[in-house]
Amino acid sequence: MENCHLIVGLGNPGLEYRATRHNAGFALTDKLAERWRAGWVLEKKFQARLARGELNGRKWILCQPQTFMNLSGEAVGAVRNYFQIASAGLLVAVDDADLPLGEIRLRARGSSGGHHGLESIEQQLGTRDFARLRLGIGRQEREAGRQIRDYVLGRFGVDEQARFQQVLARAAEQVECWMDAGIQLAMTKFNGAIAAT
């Protein structure tokens, strides 16, 4: 589909995973759907929830894979192929435990950085040439033997939740800039730590 942007938020479906750090991508796409006054529809043929619309003359599709994180590529590949989205029109939003909470980083391409959702998408698409927006969720010092899995599947604390809402607002603006003006300006203008308010 010409002049169409596909914005994918990664996460895990189900109430038990709702509002966890690992679902930061879902949270961003929920924020965008709210900003753009769009409703979600479960599309079983894609194994994904989709919302569609137009902003400033540009068509967009929001996507939340319902395959669980490690199989995200199955849904993303199906949606991308069906709507014929160019690589330049694809952006994937993910949580990143290696970035502090309050920091966002958009890149035009790159490695998965060990993120299983990105690995799945790269494998399905056969390329790393798509934008990825990393939402910092921080990483805390943990007692010996505790896995990162416990942390990313945990929920934000009260103070963290307020900070994360600032992150989502800033990241939503960055996505809109990416759509309107391209990735270079979106990276220059928005990448980095967000000032606490």
Question: What is the model's pLDDT at position 140?
Answer: 63
| Orientation of helix 116-125 relative to helix 72-83, angle to 10° | 40
SS3 letters across 96-135: ECCCCCCEEEEECCCCCCCCHHHHHHHHHHCCCCCEEEEE
115 is catalytic: no
Q: Which CATH number fits domain 4-193: 1.10.260.40, 3.40.50.1470, 2.60.260.40, 3.40.50.300?
A: 3.40.50.1470
Question: What is the model's pLDDT at position 131?
Answer: 97
What phi, psi does 6 have (nearest 5°)? -110, 115
Catalytic residue from among 5, 22, 115, 116: 22
Buried-exposed string 6-28: b where 16+ CB fall within 10 A, e elsewhere: bbbbbbbbeeebeebbbbbbbbb
More confident residue, 151 or 174: 174
User: Quick one: average pLDDT of 22-50?
Assistant: 97
The token pair at 120 is 């799945």
Average pLDDT score over the chain: 92
3-class SS of residue 144: coil
d(CA 144, CA 85): 45
For 65-117, the pLDDT digits (tens) are 999 999 999 999 999 999 999 999 999 999 999 999 999 999 999 988 889 99
Q: Where are the domains of the chain?
A: 4-193
**This prediction's pTM:** 0.94
Residue 43: pLDDT above 50? yes
User: Quick one: average pLDDT of 43-69?
Assistant: 96
User: Quick one: average pLDDT of 114-131?
Assistant: 94
